[in-house]
Amino acid sequence: MNAQTPSIPTAADVDAAAERLKGVAVRTPLVFSPILSELTGGRIFIKPETLQRTGSFKFRGAYNRMVQIAPEQRAAGVVACSSGNHAQGVAAAAKLLGMPAIIVMPNDAPALKRARTIALGAEVVGYDRVTEDRDAIAAAIAARNGAILVPPYDDPHVIAGQGTVGREIVEDLVALGLDLDVVSANASGGGLMAGISLAVKARFPNAQPIVAEPADFDDHARSFVSGVRERNAAPSGSFCDALLAPTPGAITFEVNRLLTGGAVSASDAEVAAAVAFAFLELKLVVEPGGAVALAALLQGRIAAKDKTVVIVLSGGNVEPETYLACLKTL
Amino acid sequence: MNAQTPSIPTAADVDAAAERLKGVAVRTPLVFSPILSELTGGRIFIKPETLQRTGSFKFRGAYNRMVQIAPEQRAAGVVACSSGNHAQGVAAAAKLLGMPAIIVMPNDAPALKRARTIALGAEVVGYDRVTEDRDAIAAAIAARNGAILVPPYDDPHVIAGQGTVGREIVEDLVALGLDLDVVSANASGGGLMAGISLAVKARFPNAQPIVAEPADFDDHARSFVSGVRERNAAPSGSFCDALLAPTPGAITFEVNRLLTGGAVSASDAEVAAAVAFAFLELKLVVEPGGAVALAALLQGRIAAKDKTVVIVLSGGNVEPETYLACLKTL
């Protein structure tokens, strides 16, 4: 597959990504949750991508894209736009591959994510989310340095990399002798959900992937209804700082509109309560943007009774202050 | 094995416990930690028993003991002494087995642990840790009700149940083609470490199990030196509320003095920093008493370079206020 002609990735691309990520990405577990199963009447598993390298699934897609950059091109480095989790994924992949990385990051990105990106060796270039165009800034850097742009979601290699989350879910369920009924993952640009859907539908054609979004940033839900890519009203302001993409990606939407089985959403207060629930009952640190699917399940918006359901916790890079605010809901 | 003649459990008893716990206990994962591996120069895995039913490993031993109570004896229920994690393990097992449970719990036990024990359906009887004798209270309840006492650690069935943690570690390492060099677990009465040692030594005779204790509650370390069971100076006062047993158990010490390869300790401040590290870098919620082995590793007290090391996070039942205090060390 050529970077100049992006196309829809397939389950075979996910298999190839899994080979590239072997021994590099953390093989995250599928953890049965007695308490969620009791609360919902279903058989509920958690896929904690919080335990992934850099604390979110983003490393998978970034590495799968970047390891395919030809050795002679690596010295020029990479550039990426991200408010934090993709930034860390790209930075960690660049460090492993010995490449320089520049991240174009909004000035209102969480300080923790900024600090962790820099700690991984990347250079961070700030911009104003309202008045500046991050894509133009990144394009200028790419042109100046000859650096390769690593998109956060709308790239077949990135989607295939994220799909390894779904491939691992399939492997673990097959080993347990179980079929998958529902898998729900949080969506911003939709890369994680698209990758997961490709992988799980290849093995469980009747499985229902469900997109989870913040209530006021439900571009996927509205796009599924209208059939075209709708935009969110605001460029920022969600409690879920990881889920601020303005609209579904072009490639990801092609996959998601065909393969997903619907969308659910949760309010900021419901997400905060889910973060606190994960602290108290699951003992897993989840960031707001990583807890929307869990919040929707806890609110009864994902039909789980008598079903095998996998909830993906997509990231755990939450600042102590934000975490404290969530725990106050207890 | 007869409850009236306690004896040293074996690896075969751990195998039998694993059969009893199958489909009941959570099969917790073994999670590779890139950051701990980078920091120490070793191959470091985490065994997060925080993800176990009730948030600690204690459910395993309690259930393995209680499921062996004859059906005609179950109506009389069980009684147990515990400051919180064993209490929840016994309560959860009693609920699954349809038995009443009474827990004798110190009045200074964390409110969260008390509340979670009651939420699981157990009755809690309070006592003063300094002026009252919990064993006498429990014995009186057992005599009055005909209830069976479930010891927190000094029981071959309880030890065998905790040993399934070690058995799972062995299974997962074998699947990865790895040998075990070091496994470290937190010790109070020593039941977890004894069970793990039985299981891992059966497969990896050269593996070194290392007991981890709070600095001022290092009864195992002193007992290993003197050869007899030493006592801690204070009955309470550790930041690690889960690790307050006054002395190693009789049975557990017989196992641990033969099989373990030493002891390490960590101060309260080092434990608080480890809890915060687990939040920030591992995305796992750990209570102070569950983080001593991790603290010792982070302090360089467990030789890890070029070794395969497993750190057991034994519990995650930490109150929000205590957690916040730990995060302030960041």
- Measure in Å the smallest separation between the Cα of A25 and chain B Cα atoms: 9
Q: Which of B47, B56, B283 to mutate to test the interface with A (most CBs of A within 10 A)?
A: B283
- Measure in Å the smallest separation between the Cα of A34 and chain B Cα atoms: 7
Strand partners of residue A43: A308
Distance CA A68, CA B20 (A): 48
Q: Find chain B residues with C-beta within 8 A of A168's C-beta.
A: none
What pLDDT, in 10s, does the model give residues A83-103? 889 999 999 999 999 999 999
What pLDDT, in 10s, does the model give residues A270-312? 999 999 999 999 999 999 999 999 999 999 999 999 999 999 9
What ranges make up the beta strands (E) of A31-147? 31-32, 43-48, 78-81, 101-106, 123-127
Residue B2: the pLDDT is 42
Nearest to B285 among A34, A284, A330 (CB): A284
**Which residue in chain A is spatially nearest to B23 when comparing CA positions?**
A32
Residue B48, φ and ψ in degrees, nearest 5:
-85, 90
**Which residue in chain A is spatially nearest to B320 when comparing CA positions?**
A327
What pLDDT, in 10s, does the model give residues A114-132? 999 999 999 999 999 889 9
CB-based contact B30:B172 (threshold 8 Å):
yes
The three-state secondary structure class of A148 is strand
What pLDDT, in 10s, does the model give residues B239-278? 888 888 889 999 999 999 999 989 999 999 999 999 999 9
User: Does A121 contact chain B (CB < 8 Å)?
Assistant: no
DSSP A147: P
Distance CA A289, CA A308 (A): 23
Q: Find chain B residues with C-beta within 8 A of A284's C-beta.
A: 51, 283-285
Run of H or E including B298: helix B292-298
**Which residue in chain A is spatially nearest to B286 when comparing CA positions?**
A283
User: Does A34 contact chain B (CB < 8 Å)?
Assistant: yes
Nearest Cα to Cα of residue B289 among B281, B278, B300, B303: B278
Distance CA A32, CA A38 (A): 11
Residues of chain A with pLDDT > 90: what percent? 89
Q: Report how far Cα A117 is from the mean position of its chain's Cα atoms.
A: 17
What pLDDT, in 10s, does the model give residues A33-49? 999 999 999 999 999 99
User: Across the interface, do A51 and B26 touch by the CB < 8 Å criterion?
Assistant: no
CB atoms near residue B258 (< 10 Å): 11
Run of H or E including B135: helix B134-145
pTM for this entry: 0.96
Q: What letter represents residue B282's amino acid? A: L
Q: Return the C-alpha torsion angle B248, B253, B257, B261, nearest 10.
A: -60
Which residues in chain B show pLDDT less than 50?
Answer: 1-5
Residue A6: the pLDDT is 58
- Non-local CB neighbours of A4 within 8 Å, separated by 6+ positions: none
Across the range A170-191, mean pLDDT stands at 97
Nearest to A283 among B29, B285, B320 (CB): B285
ipTM: 0.95
CB-based contact B49:B42 (threshold 8 Å):
no
Q: Find chain B residues with C-beta within 8 A of A31's C-beta.
A: 26, 28-29, 51
What pLDDT, in 10s, does the model give residues A44-89? 999 999 999 999 999 999 999 999 999 999 999 999 999 889 999 9
Strand order in the sheet with A101-106: A123-127, A101-106, A78-81, A148-149
Nearest to B31 among A29, A55, A324 (CB): A29
